[in-house]
Structure 1
Amino acid sequence: MNMKYVLEQRKITLLCLAAVALARPDRPAPAGYGYDPPTPAYAPPQPSYSAPQPSYSAPQPSYEKPKVRWHNKFLRILQEGMPFDFKYAVKDAYKGLDFDYNSDGKVVNGQYRVLLPDGRTQIVTYTTDHHNGYQAEVTYEGEAQYPEPQPYKPAPSYSAPAPAYSAPAPTYEQPKPTYGAPRN
């Protein structure tokens, strides 16, 4: 038999025996850090009061019973909105906002204007109530215009910078000849 194989088998056997010896069921459990945990010497206090008894009554309804009407074999409950009057309007020529809104408590009337991309103004006049629902009338002012698109020509957003320097002044002298007259 190969000697390496025998040595490997012995190592595996020794490791298995060590694992079995460490996992014995009759061995006592470890005691943590070597001391027994302390027993609590204090008990929480007992409450010295009794819970309060409920002293409320059921709330009384603060609304009226809805009006009931039989209509075509179906029960219809009539509920109307709260009757209050109000009115407001906004007109801002710079932003193109122009609308108003008013109510007499039963019918709401209003109007608003929308500036369309084609140059027209769309005017919506509406009325709404509990019986007829939302009723709107849409009209237009102006003619639709579709101008020919112009090619994009970006304009320069800057000018050429002015020079902040002057031409350099010469700092040298005229060269002097270093040779003499020719010899004959």
Structure 2
Amino acid sequence: MTSQMMQVLVLATLVAVALAHPAIRPPYHPHPPSYAPVDPPKYDFNYAVRDNFGNDFGHQESRDGYNTQGSYYAQLPDGRLQKVDYTVQGDSGFVAQVGYQGQAQYPTYHPAPAPSYSPAPHYG
């Protein structure tokens, strides 16, 4: 190693040691985490879908602070309407009541007729 390279290496080492000294840079003390929201959440929303293809579903929810209530519904393939009403109050968790309207309809199964095959034409 040349003397210039040695001088640069020694200088870089001294700078690194000086920057690492606690008198130059104060120690890091992170702020304690805050998990509480600044403002309690408050909102209302709803939507509904009904189209010509048989889709019929929707959802409604409102929240004020830690109390939430809502419901959603969906038209099931068997013809019934399923509706779920739910609440969440503080740490109580998700409390749901599920209900159905209508009777399940299962159409009679009619298998398709077996395909008939005929031989391919033969040209002489």
User: Is the TM-score greater than 0.5?
Assistant: yes
2:61 matches 1:61: no
2:110 matched to which residue of 1? 150
Aligned residue runs from structure 1 range 1-184, under 5 A: 42-43=1-2, 44-45=5-6, 46-49=9-12, 50-51=15-16, 52=19, 53-54=21-22, 55-57=25-27, 58-61=29-32, 63=34, 82=37, 83-94=40-51, 95-152=55-112
Cα distance between partner residues in 2 of 1:140 and 1:113: 9
What count of residue pairs does the alignment treat as equivalent? Answer: 97
Show structure 2 runs of 5+ residues with no match.
Answer: 115-124
Report the residue type matching 1:59 in the other structure: P
Deviations for 1:37-91, whole angstroms, at most 9, x for unmatched residues? xxxxx4554242422134134234364xxxxxxxxxxxxxxx9x64211222221
Cα distance between partner residues in 2 of 1:56 and 1:96: 62
Cα distance between partner residues in 2 of 1:153 and 1:86: 56
Question: Under a length normalisation based on structure 1, what TM-score does the superposition of the two structures give?
Answer: 0.44
Cα distance between partner residues in 1 of 2:32 and 2:91: 28
- Tell me how large the CA RMSD over aligned residues is: 2.7
Higher strand share: 2
Question: Under a length normalisation based on structure 2, what TM-score does the superposition of the two structures give?
Answer: 0.62
Cα distance between partner residues in 2 of 1:144 and 1:88: 30
Runs of 4+ with >6 A deviation: none
